[in-house]
Amino acid sequence: MKKYVVLLLTAVALMSAGKQDGAITKEDGATVVNTTTIAKDVEGYNGPVPLKIYIKKNKIEKIEILKNQETPKYMVKVKNALLTAWNGLTVKEAKAKKVDGVTGATFTSEAIKENIQRGLDYYQKNK
């Protein structure tokens, strides 16, 4: 009997651990999706380009780039030209939106677009 109780407790702990990966948090009334863990295999030119996606009332408020190894000069271009393209859209609209990348920062642009897609998918499954 003791063996079954231990197995049951282990199973419960493992099931609850999956939802506590820190990818979704709350901040100032918005749900924030952090793509650090859910898109760790998505790489720009010099490595992963994790994001924070702020969603309030099912609309994208803003997207922030987190610490990365990309060239700062290109990250400024990407930030100015790409990140605001999803602001104000519903999650459904944002997932369907086709956004052009930034010339000269193709790998980084593609990584950001993939991070956004994965973050929005994760949000829809776990909100």
| pLDDT tens column, 111-123 | 999 999 999 999 9
State the pTM of this model. 0.82
Helix residue spans in the chain (DSSP H) = 2-17, 72-81, 91-96, 106-126
The CA distance from 14 to 60, in Å, is: 32
d(CA 75, CA 45): 11
Question: For the segment 65-104, what is each residue's pLDDT rounded down to a tens digit?
Answer: 999 999 999 999 999 889 999 999 999 999 999 999 999 8
Give the rounded distance of the alpha carbon of 125 from its chain centre.
Answer: 13
